[in-house]
Amino acid sequence: MIRSIKPSDVSAIEKLLNKISNFNDEEVKVAMELVNIAANDPKQNDYNVFVYEENNLILGYHCTGRRPLTDAVYDLYWIVTDPDYSGNGIGKKLLEHAENFVKERNGRWIIAETSSREEYLPTQIFYFRNNYSIIGEIKDFYSIGDNLLIFGKFFNQKQN
């Protein structure tokens, strides 16, 4: 089941993030800032966090929000699944949920950014398999030799 985050989910999400070997402490801290905003400030709508829950366990989440200064572009800030449940389609379900969230708000783009490092190759393949394309790349962004890959998916909007 995919549902909106509750304040009681925060510690489970932090434990989940700490299980991801690609994430360092600083990355977990940034992710948790968004999670805490979403969980504890119901009036904000910049960060929309949805969790994938099964048998009372949080096995993944996504954080999606409209990119500031745009009319219909959304960022997929984070999409995370429990590595112990890898290959069970949780990531795909979360991604589809994020895409539907964007489409329901008449979004035209969903943007996801990731690293070019070899450890992120499964993430890159995941986006390609789900019909995303690289729409931009910034060389040496995170560090020398670690490029920022910007994946995007365009949604056709009905013209009135």
* C-alpha closest to that of 18 among 6, 35, 5: 35
* C-alpha closest to that of 85 among 51, 60, 106: 60
pLDDT at res. 160: 41
pLDDT at res. 159: 45
Average pLDDT value for residue range 141-152: 97
DSSP 45-100: -S-EEEEEEETTEEEEEEEEEEPTT-SSEEEEEEEEE-GGGTTSSHHHHHHHHHHH
pLDDT at res. 19: 95
Give the predicted TM-score (pTM) of the model: 0.92
pLDDT tens for each residue of 49-69:
999 999 999 999 999 999 999
Q: Does domain 2-154 have CATH number 1.20.200.10?
A: no
Cα–Cα distance measured from residue 28 to residue 23, given in angstroms and rounded to the nearest whole number = 6
3-class SS at 95?
helix
3-class SS at 112?
strand
Q: 138 forms bridges with which residues in the sheet? A: 148
pLDDT at res. 157: 66
The confidence band for 158, taking pLDDT boundaries of 50, 70 and 90, is low
Domain boundaries, the chain: 2-154
Q: Which residue's structure tokens are 């993430």?
A: 123
Average pLDDT value for residue range 138-149: 96
Percentage, residues of the chain above pLDDT 90 = 92
**Which sign, positive or negative, has the C-alpha torsion 15, 17, 22, 25?**
negative
pLDDT at res. 156: 80
* Cβ neighbours of 132 (radius 10 Å): 21
pLDDT at res. 3: 96
pLDDT tens for each residue of 1-48:
999 999 999 999 999 999 998 899 999 999 999 999 999 998 999 999
3-class SS at 87?
coil
Contact 58, 87 (CB under 8 A): no
